[in-house]
Structure 1
Amino acid sequence: MSGILGRLRLLRTSSGSIWPAQTCRYLAAERTNHVSVTMDPDFDGSVAIVKLQKKPVNSLCSNHLQEITKTITGLENNERVRAMIITSAFPGVFCAGLDLMSMYQRTDDEIYTFWHHFQDMVLKNYTTPLITIAAINGHCVAGGCTIAFGTDYRVMCEDHLTGLNEARLGLPIPILFEEHDTEFNWQETSREDVSVRYA
């Protein structure tokens, strides 16, 4: 773990080079730019930095979920990439969870499709063979925790909150989180005291 944290301290994402268009073909033609990918120059193209950038708080709508899934799939298909760091483009907020308005007054089929996209993203993030690190540079709550908790390593900046609303209210944790329940203390979030800037 200390080796990973040491490498994280060296990251200079602001100077990362953006992938050429031909290597981003895996993204949908109707890309909404909710996700950006840069390659960290310190690691010779083997570490991808994935930034969530859906204003204002990275709430997860159907398009955003599909973009995350396609981005991870594309990185898996790139032979040079061995690791992925996922973070937010917005200091102070990593992910605020599901975009509830994208489910408001929808048909059953639309809600089913949304939930299908959510589950696809969770499974892809959790099962990818890439080494995955969540650089949590802001609040990470509710459904946003699925992204962070699905990674191999999590590093969180000071003075930000993470957790599930259900845990704070004493309600049962959703079934999607059962796998993580043995790995994570829901009441006392562990944090690494690391000074890393990803904005």
Structure 2
Amino acid sequence: MAVLVAKRTVSGFSCWRSSALSLRGTLGRSARDAARLPSLVPGCVGHRRLHTEEPVEVDFRRLDGKDEGIIEVLMCRHKARNALGHVFVSQMRELMTTLSCDSAVRVVILRSLVPGVFCAGADLKERALMNHTESDLFVHSLRSLMTQIATLPSPTIAAIDGVALGGGLEVALACDLRTAAYSAQMGLIETTRGLLPGAGGSQRLPRTVGITLAKELIFTGRRVGGQEALDMGLVNRAVEQNQAGDAAYREALSLAREILPQAPIAVRMAKEAMNRGMEVDIGSAMAIERMCYAQVIPTRDRQEGMAAFIEKRPPRYTGE
């Protein structure tokens, strides 16, 4: 398996890749080339698999046509309800590294192909076999995965069509935006298991819903449905579940389509400015905004946006 490395910069990511295997190249293939790839994924039919020796628990799909630029990350560990085990986390981390280096990605949607479940959280069967050191190292790997999701250059949307508990909610919290079905159940339930959220939940939940409400939810381990999650600002949009069980995904796709026409470099830099600015004082945040703004000034997209405004036509952004 190739080793891919990403280095963070102000303008996004600079990437290097191994010549042994380029997953980025796979992501960037044309539809004709992709059709020649031999492997299909059990449970994720029609989608290309990332690994040849492991069971596929995380896959992806590149949308085309009017939705070109949208990538769907498909969680499909059916037997374990997308529990965060070694293989699942490894495959998700590899895919996140790949997506961070792909400039063709405009929006990323994380969704589950397991009915009624977004992600059930920790794989307690695997965790029970770990000693203290192994458990600590694995939780560190989980924390790194959440950071990878959070620092993807493009906007990310979690489509919560079912249960998102513990680490499952931490995955969703690492995304920029969240949609949920009213019937979904969300919660950081670690205190009911003698633990606390260890993959970013204790930090990202307060930043999302406020410190006092986050303390209540974490101290009690309480679960909330889609409507309550919307009311408290945990999710951006909530909808009635449909017969197919994918209403939150449909809403996430609608939201992605609203983002898609916008200038991609500007969107990436806006995300960078907000994410980095939230962690510092207002003066430093203004300096970060200035640096990010400077990145979009010389782009062709900025020139196209101005020209489209003057000519009273829709802009045609290319990400350059």
**Unpaired stretches in structure 1, ≥5 consecutive residues:** 1-16
Q: 1:110 to 1:136 in 2, by over 3 A?
A: same
Q: Which moved more, 1:103-112 or 1:152-161?
A: 103-112
Supply the AA of the counterpart residue of 1:163. G
Q: Deviations over 1:51-103 (max 9, x none)?
A: 10012311010110111111111112222112110010012110100101111
State the SS of the aligned residue for 2:82. Answer: coil
Query: TM-score if structure 2 supplies the norm length?
Result: 0.49
Q: 1:128 and 1:19 mapped to 2: Cα distance?
A: 26
Change (3 A) 1:29 1:120: farther
Query: Does the alignment pair 1:86 with 2:126?
Result: no
What are the within-5 Å matches in structure 2 for residues 36-185 of structure 1?
36-56=59-79, 57-166=81-190, 174=197, 176-177=200-201, 178-184=203-209, 185=213
Shift of 1:29: 5.0
Counterpart secondary structure, 2:130? coil
What is the root-mean-square deviation in Å for CA atoms of aligned residues?
A: 3.1
Q: Distance in 1 between matches of 2:137 and 2:196?
A: 22
CA distance in 2: counterparts of 1:49 and 1:18, whole angstroms: 19
After superposition, the C-alpha distances for 1:15-41 in whole angstroms (9 at most, x for unaligned) are: xx798359x999455342101211122
Q: Distance in 2 between matches of 1:87 and 1:48?
A: 11
Q: Partners in 1 of 2:87 and 2:157 — Cα distance? A: 23
Is the CA contact 2:59–2:75 (under 8 Å) kept in the aligned structure 1?
Answer: yes
Shift of the alpha carbon at 1:113?
Answer: 3.4
1:18 and 1:64 map into 2 onto residues whose CA distance is 29
The question of whether the paired residues in 2 share the 8 Å contact of 1:89 and 1:198 is answered with no
**Matches of 2:74 and 2:167 in 1, distance apart?**
17
Task: Give the paired residue count.
Answer: 180
Q: Is the 8 A contact 2:61 2:71 kept in 1?
A: yes
Deviates more, 1:54-63 or 1:172-181: 172-181
Cα pair 1:137 1:156 within 8 Å, conserved: yes
Query: Mean alpha-carbon deviation: is it higher for 83-92 or for 108-117?
Result: 108-117
Higher Rg of the two aligned structures = 2
State how far apart, in whole Å, the 2-side matches of 1:19 and 1:63 are.
Answer: 27
Letter in 1 for 2:72: I
SS in 1 for 2:121: coil
Question: 2:229 is matched with which residue: 186, 189, 193?
Answer: 189
> Any unmatched runs of 5+ in structure 2?
1-30, 39-46, 218-227, 241-246, 251-320
Conservation of the 8 A alpha-carbon contact between 1:95 and 1:140:
yes
Which one-letter code corresponds to 2:101 in the other structure? N
| Deviation for aligned residue 1:117 | 2.1
Aligned to 2:20: none
Is this contact kept in 2: 1:97–1:144, CA < 8 A? yes
Which secondary structure does the structure 2 equivalent of 1:49 belong to? strand
Alpha-carbon distance in structure 1 between the residues aligned to 2:153 and 2:82: 25
Opposite residue 97 of structure 2, the aligned amino acid is T
Q: Provide the secondary structure at the position in 1 that maps to 2:71.
A: strand
Structure (1 or 2) with the greater helix fraction: 2
Per the alignment, residue 289 of structure 2 pairs with: none
2: CA distance, partners of 1:104 / 1:142: 16
Amino acid at match of 2:238: D
Query: Is 1:33 the equivalent of 2:56?
Result: yes
Identity percentage of aligned residues: 26
